[in-house]
Amino acid sequence: MKIITQPADLPGFLKNFSAPRILVPTMGALHEGHLTLVRHARQLAGDSGCVILTLFVNPTQFDRPEDLKRYPRTLENDIHLCESHGVDVVFAPEPGSMYQPDHSVSVVESALSHPLCGATRPGHFDGVCTIVLKLFNLTQPDTAVFGKKDYQQLAVIRRMTRDLNVPVHIEGVETIREPNGLAMSSRNTRLTPKQHADAPRIRRALLAAHSAHENGETSAQTLLEIARQEIMATREGAEIDYLELLDADSLQAIDPVTAPAIIATAVFYDTVRLIDNMELTG
């Protein structure tokens, strides 16, 4: 396994590998969710292809400086996990090597990025689109693998590749969960034991709305209220950042639910922000 820290060194080294070339972009602090993406990438690449994993805490997608500062950084352990799970190349640059001091160009998505996380995190998806496009340019992958836990991010990246004619296939992988149902996240380590025990109610809330929909309920407001009541029944001070039911493709509000939809939420436990979602069929 090769570790590369300078962007200029990446394209030349990757010429040594046969196709297909599969990219797994991450911000590090790897857990089983990331490793599932790596295993999927390895399967897509086969024995002769190349799996590239990026470890980069991208500063331009953080709207809160304290969140950037607190984001866990476990580089040594991340590299060990990559080596033991079949990654061929780890790209782990420093921010100064990815952004020039006077950088003035960014990628802006103007539709899908407005609701959900975009409503309360100004500039977040501009940062996501910009860094992902930069990584695509540097690695020239055939396929890039992302988790469905960040459903909006996945939708935005798919739209970016479509609208900018980026020749990369975007592969979405189902959310990986802890045994209690909590969606795996690097942020879970910042929860107190009581908060960690309580947080699976987020998943239960989405399941309750999903069950009601499966039983014939099509009112978005009713489904959202079912989920809201479960989340707010907590005694651990959870606060809803957003809870929305949207068209799965356009990410626009939908009521009644007559097409494939997504119910998505972000919940704060103190300063720890957890996201989750569930797809609903029409």
pTM, two decimals, is 0.93
Residue ranges of the chain assigned to CATH 3.30.1300.10: 186-276
| 282 confidence band (pLDDT: 50, 70, 90) | low
pLDDT tens, residue by residue, 224-269: 999 999 999 999 999 999 999 999 999 999 999 988 999 999 999 9
| 70 confidence band (pLDDT: 50, 70, 90) | confident
One of 34, 40, 210, 213 is an active-site residue; which one?
Answer: 34
Residue ranges of the chain assigned to CATH 3.40.50.620: 2-173
pLDDT tens, residue by residue, 71-95: 889 999 999 999 999 999 999 999 8
> What kind of fold does domain 186-276 have according to CATH?
Pantoate--beta-alanine Ligase; Chain: A,domain 2 (3.30.1300)
pLDDT tens, residue by residue, 176-228: 999 999 999 989 999 999 999 999 999 999 999 999 999 999 999 999 999 99
Taken as a whole, the chain contains a residue count of: 282
pLDDT tens, residue by residue, 2-50: 999 999 999 999 999 999 999 999 999 999 999 999 999 999 999 999 9
For domain 2-173, the CATH architecture is 3-Layer(aba) Sandwich (3.40)
Catalytic residue at 34? yes
Tokens coding 51: 């799996």
Q: Which of 124, 129, 118, 146 is nearest to 23 (CA)?
A: 146
Residues 99-106 have a mean pLDDT of: 95
pLDDT at 66: 87
Question: Between 87 and 64, where is the model more confident?
Answer: 87
Burial 64-102 (b: 16+ CB within 10 A, else e): eeeeeeebeebeeebbebbeebebbbbbbbeeeebbeee
pLDDT tens, residue by residue, 156-166: 999 999 999 99
Instruction: Say whether pLDDT at 149 is over 90.
Output: yes
d(CA 199, CA 202): 6
